[in-house]
Amino acid sequence: MKRIASFDHQAIIAAALAAVVWLFSLAGGGEWKFDPDDTLPMFGQPAKPRSEAQKKADEGFIRDNTLRFKTRPAAAAAFASQGWAALRAKQLDVAMQRFNQAWLMNPRYYGAFWGFGAVLSQRGQLLQAVEQLESARKLIDEPAQRAALLADLGALYSAYAAALPADKQLDRAQYFVLANQRFTESLENDPKFTTAWREWAISLYDQERYSEAWVKAKRLEELGGEALPPDFLKKLSAKMPEPK
């Protein structure tokens, strides 16, 4: 399964806040007790409504952290940052809990939905991950992050298509079309975003479009992006020698 390509950029944005969130989560006042619903995006809502006790706890959490971080958006960014850190540490349930806390502080924060998708991707729930990132795409209000989000969406669509069985050729083709659309949109936002070129090359190999994969790989090299894995280049060369 392919990884989500760009998730750790969020941790860089709010790295300073991450440590603060962690310390506060260990301290009294607004402490969050783990609940099985925390492992589901948006606590399982709307399919799984919150109980009255959970609603009361949510209200207290929002109140305490609004005071602590001054604004709800600032709190949401801080909890999301801790979520990315937990994801990098492979603590998937903790990551989902943090992204849920981010969503609770700001239900329209695109970073929370991006985080939901990243966790679901790591769990192997690719189609559900796509749905979350599509929500993030509709909500994103930071133009500088749009190329990365779209590249992640392209990689997820492609991974889902590649995982479909051989008798699902029409579905595979449709999801690969969506992958190509998202990669195109990513590079329209930032033609020098190397992650998109890299992930698109891998996707095109899975689509058996080898000459186009070489074009993307060449552009990636020209831009000085992270090199494609040697094993991938070996497989691509076996299908079609590198054009001269």
Summarize the confidence of residues 97-101 as an average pLDDT.
Answer: 96
Q: What is the per-residue pLDDT across 163-172, written as a single tens digit (0 to 9) for each?
A: 999 899 999 9
Tell me: do 31 and 86 sit in the same domain.
yes
pLDDT tops 60 at residue 24? no
Residue finishing a domain among 109, 141, 173: 141
Query: Does the structure show a pLDDT above 90 at 7?
Result: no
CB 113 within 8 A of CB 42: no
CA angle 37, 78, 38 (to 5 degrees): 5
Last residue of a domain, one of 116, 141, 166: 141
The answer to whether the beta carbons of residues 201 and 186 sit under 8 Å apart is no
221 with 125, same domain: the answer is no
Give the percent of the chain with pLDDT over 70: 86
Are residues 95 and 199 both part of a single domain? no
Token code pair at residue 188: 């329209």
Q: What pLDDT does residue 89 have?
A: 96
Contact 213/236 with Cβ under 8 angstroms?
A: yes
41 in the same domain as 137:
yes
Mean per-residue pLDDT, 156-164: 97
Q: Looking at the structure, tell me whether residues 50 and 78 fall in a common domain.
A: yes
Whole-model pTM? 0.87
pLDDT digits (tens, 9 = 90+) for 171-180: 999 999 999 9
| 137 lies in the same domain as 155 | no
Q: Which long-range contacts (CB under 8 A, 24 or more apart) does 23-29 make?
A: 24/68, 25/82, 29/64
CATH number of the domain bearing residue 62: 1.25.40.10
Q: How many of the other CB atoms lie within 10 Å of CB of 81?
A: 27
pLDDT of residue 67: 96
pLDDT tens figures, 38-54: 899 999 999 999 999 99
pLDDT at 6 over 90: no
Cβ pair 145, 153 in contact under 8 A: no
Range of the domain at 201: 143-244
Say what the pLDDT of residue 244 is: 82
> 119 and 234 share a domain?
no
Over residues 185-230, the pLDDT tens digits come to 999 999 999 999 999 999 999 999 999 999 999 999 999 999 999 9
Residue 21 has pLDDT above 60, yes or no: no
Q: Are residues 70 and 132 in the same domain?
A: yes
Q: For residue 8, what pLDDT band results from cuts at 50, 70 and 90?
A: very low
Tally of domains within the chain: 2
Q: Dihedral (C-alpha) 96, 101, 106, 108: value to the nearest 10 degrees? A: 20
